[in-house]
Structure 1
């Protein structure tokens, strides 16, 4: 027999909610008011039967209308005010003011502050008028205390409204940030491979049009690269969608992006006609998942932009492991003044590649710069802090180690 780790959690009483909660509140207020008003109906003052017949329905309606307080807070507030005022004008006592306080709190808690202030003003003005006209039961001190209580109720309702509004705003911002993160991830995952497919297909088409008889072998190689890139893009798309759906799988369809897959990026860039050289400086150290993924995505997007826009032939990818941060540099020998589309000029642009890379770096407390190199070409440089959760070790001497084109550092 299976053991239930928390049986009492499901068996515990559940508080009413929605319309059931409104009905329960109206019933509770009515019960308290009726019990507190019994003595008033049995009072020493002689009252006609008509007055008694009118007082009981006023009392019941003042509490019963609270059932509609959340759907029509302002209307309920004014209704309770009129019924309560009429009840007390018949010289009945009792805690019927509780119904008015509940209605007033609801008006303020739903953000109708003008209506709440108007209700308080009418109550204070009416009670003050009765006091001035010589009522023995309402002194100036009583009016002052009543005003303070009503203002406190409105203040509590407004605090409730502000807290709920803040919670909704935080939730909305979190949802927006999550959508942006997903959009950035899909852009980085799919955009890289689609861009390479576009470049390779365009090159094959150009060769076929230029010299159909001698371009067969080169076109076949380009089409094979297109096939490989599309296969990887489809695999990574499925893996990303699987994570978004939180699918229960024995293993992901594709490994998580990281610098361990840098060699794959290099090979893909080489198939697009680029000569890629990788360099590693400093003592390598284990990276957190966030830092590893950010460095990988910055390199991926930079290589994508080089293949699409830079008209370059050679690219250098450099990783520098410092004391506190990782420096990722991607340099090319292309046209630095018009390269990279959305990342190739210092002027503002509407592209999402550079913006996405900068967002990744800034999210981890780093920074990213991109622009033409003084000697020609274009460079992207991202500095990403390791963070306190990364177990580091002292860096060795800064001796560059170069790998051949296509070799992983």
Structure 2
């Protein structure tokens, strides 16, 4: 049995002319009902006469063009107007005369070009029709009656123009929503790529540079190269997860290396604070001394706060590794009942690869700006700046319990 939804879908898939034709046929059939004869629109006070051969032409011109009222509205209005003129001049006064305001509404709603010209032509054509009806009439219809009927026609056109304006406004609203959605999605993906690529690639570069000086120590060289390999696998796993987000039909979101999409060995689709120890160990392997302190226990209801806290630590450690290599870095994470607090500080005493004092761990600011926005979305607080001792401190207070 066909459901109403399936029937509605089938109907809307039909050509618009097929869907508009039944309205014209309904008016045409109604015009032949004896009870409705002479009950249609009457302008000019001409006596009603029975249908003849010319009446069939007038009815056809009034009703059948409604099939193209949305496809070719100007053509529809011209034909319906011609049929209406014959209907009134001959005194048929059929129900089919109702097609004229319908044609005006459709023209006002669907005519895209030469709208003003079409309105002027229609208005000019009404004048000779009114004059002819006045002369043919018995004198019962005054000039006021013809003048009063014209605003009715204008109102029908205005109703169509109002529908058109609403349709355009709705389409513009949908376009803006779609554009804002795309922009927000691109921004989100850009942040994820920044977090993943910057952290992992920075660690790989630092580890690879350190390996150049370990040729005399095969064991340490092997450890460093293993760390580079592990970091690369984590980067690949995280990038694979981002690609899965762009194409949900591709894969199940888990890497083939057994690390899971977060590259942390947790099997979760997104990194979380439970993987902070792995993140800290990876940074230590790159040569950065990191003190890690975690208070409390991560809760299942932390929601998005868990991921944001992870990203705060990841970005701060990445900047410390890039711009304050070798400096003592401390990471403190406290899980409360209603919020997660994160503090990552670097004392700024490290040296970069050239032996000179390292640059500010703040980096270019792009990653920190992204973190500030993420924390603000959850209603938290974020700060990043230089400490009195010349180091750099990143702090975040992230309300927990938000849905992922």
Q: Secondary structure at the match of 2:271?
A: coil
Residues 1:83 and 2:90 aligned together: no
Q: State the Cα distance separating 1:297 from its structure 2 match.
A: 1.0
Paired residue for 1:202, among 174, 195, 209?
A: 209
* Residue of structure 1 equivalent to 2:353: none
Paired residue for 1:341, among 352, 363, 369?
A: 363
* Residue of structure 1 equivalent to 2:371: 357
* Residue of structure 2 equivalent to 1:192: 199
Q: Secondary structure at the match of 1:342?
A: coil
* Residue of structure 2 equivalent to 1:310: 324
Q: How far apart are the structure 2 equivalents of 1:387 and 1:305?
A: 28
Structure 2: give runs of 5+ residues left out of the alignment. 39-46, 135-140, 261-266, 349-356
* Residue of structure 1 equivalent to 2:27: 33
* Residue of structure 2 equivalent to 1:104: 107
Distance 1:336 1:250, change over 3 A: closer
Q: How far apart are the structure 2 equivalents of 1:158 and 1:11?
A: 29
Distance 1:274 1:337, change over 3 A: closer
Paired residue for 2:17, among 23, 28, 35?
A: 23
Asked whether the equivalents of residues 317 and 330 of structure 1 are also in contact (C-alpha less than 8 Å), the reply is yes
Paired residue for 1:151, among 137, 148, 158?
A: 158
Distance 1:323 1:374, change over 3 A: farther
Residues 1:231 and 2:233 aligned together: yes
Distance 1:48 1:239, change over 3 A: closer
Q: How far apart are the structure 2 equivalents of 1:153 and 1:203?
A: 74
Paired residue for 2:303, among 275, 289, 293?
A: 289
Distance 1:333 1:128, change over 3 A: farther
1:250-302: CA deviation from partner (whole Å, max 9, x where unpaired): 97733231111110011001001111112346x55625220001000111121
* Residue of structure 2 equivalent to 1:142: 149
Q: Secondary structure at the match of 1:341?
A: coil
1:60-80: CA deviation from partner (whole Å, max 9, x where unpaired): 6622433xx35xxxxx22222
Residues 1:379 and 2:393 aligned together: yes
Q: Secondary structure at the match of 1:384?
A: strand
* Residue of structure 1 equivalent to 2:7: 13
* Residue of structure 1 equivalent to 2:44: none
Q: State the Cα distance separating 1:201 from its structure 2 match.
A: 0.9
Paired residue for 2:65, among 62, 67, 72?
A: 62
1:141-166: CA deviation from partner (whole Å, max 9, x where unpaired): 33333333332232133223322332
RMSD: 3.7
Q: State the Cα distance separating 1:168 from its structure 2 match.
A: 3.3
* Residue of structure 1 equivalent to 2:287: 273
Q: State the Cα distance separating 1:378 from its structure 2 match.
A: 1.4
Greater CA drift, 96-105 or 306-315: 96-105
Greater CA drift, 98-107 or 263-272: 98-107
Structure 1: give runs of 5+ residues left out of the alignment. 1-6, 71-75, 344-350, 391-409
Asked whether the equivalents of residues 107 and 115 of structure 1 are also in contact (C-alpha less than 8 Å), the reply is no
Q: How far apart are the structure 2 equivalents of 1:180 and 1:264?
A: 27
TM-score by length of 2: 0.74
Q: How far apart are the structure 1 equivalents of 2:78 and 2:5?
A: 43
Q: Secondary structure at the match of 1:90?
A: helix
Asked whether the equivalents of residues 18 and 67 of structure 2 are also in contact (C-alpha less than 8 Å), the reply is no
